[in-house]
Amino acid sequence: MNTKTDTSPSADAGGSTAQRPAKKPRLAIFIATAGGLGYFPKAPGTLGSLAGIALAIAPLWAFFLVSGVYIVAKHGDAGVFVSATSGWLDPVLLIQVAITFTVAAVGVWAADRAAKFWRVEDPGRVVIDEVSGQHLTLLLGCGLPLWWKPIHSAFDANGVLLGVISVTSALNWKYLLVGFVLFRLFDIWKPFPARQAESLPSGWGIMADDWVAGIYAGIGLWLARAAGL
């Protein structure tokens, strides 16, 4: 959503005529606020975007710490991931895609429940939409291959490897910064059809405009990579 401020009324405050759930949906609120980030009084949407970046970085460190499936081989200034398995299957990319769809689906449910409980159409406390949109930005911007470049050129960690979207696509600080800035820009600007998507019912309207912003930002990030960033 747009740059958010916490304008949501408390659970006991008045609001629309929507029926409040009889019991506080604690799990839904926890998810919708991204573990409480949405309660921050300043720039909760920005914090949600940072959580989306952390979500994209997490699989790499999970592999290192838990499974040890991948090792890093250095080729000059570029880092190349060498899979301990063979074949065309890219488990890292599959995990990132699964994260994208899971966060999107759970986000729709959680945002809907939280909005109904607070009796506000689009509560400022709900930031799971930023988490989802920012992760989508990085998935598209770094997951779509630069097919005309060799792997050692496409996979350039610029000396600091923070995460991966796929076996051949790094998440360095430049990609994370550009992806973050582009997503926040498109999230605030809301180019077509982002603003129209807000009119979708319930949790869909809360989430969908950030998906549109994520798609635009992902295309921008991919173009920046293609241009040699």
Average pLDDT over every residue of 197-218: 94
The CA-to-CA distance between both ends of the chain, in Å, stands at 27
Return the SS3 of 123: coil
Residue closest to 3 by CA, chosen among 50, 45, 41: 45
Q: 134-167: per-residue pLDDT in tens?
A: 999 999 999 998 887 766 555 665 556 788 898 7
Percent of the chain with pLDDT over 70: 75
Q: Is 40 exposed, middle or buried (0-12, 13-18, 19+ CB in 10 A)?
A: middle
pLDDT beyond 70 at 77: no
Report pTM.
Answer: 0.81
Average pLDDT over every residue of 54-63: 86
Average pLDDT over every residue of 119-133: 94
Does residue 27 contact residue 155 with C-beta atoms inside 8 Å?
Answer: no
Which parts of the chain fold into alpha helices (H)?
A: 26-32, 44-62, 91-118, 128-143, 151-154, 173-189, 194-197, 202-226
Check residue 74 and give its pLDDT: 41
pLDDT beyond 90 at 131: yes
Average pLDDT over every residue of 35-41: 95
Residue with tokens 């999970």, as numbered in its chain = 62
Kindly state the tokens that stand for 200.
Answer: 């979708």
β-bridge mates for residue 163, sequence order: 171
18 or 178: which carries more pLDDT confidence?
178
Alpha-carbon distance of 135 to 211, in angstroms, equals 10
pLDDT beyond 90 at 104: yes
Kindly state the tokens that stand for 45.
Answer: 């949407």
Give φ, ψ of 215 to 5 degrees. -65, -45
Give φ, ψ of 226 to 5 degrees. -65, -30
99 or 82: which carries more pLDDT confidence?
99
For residue 172, the one-letter residue type is N
125 or 156: which carries more pLDDT confidence?
125
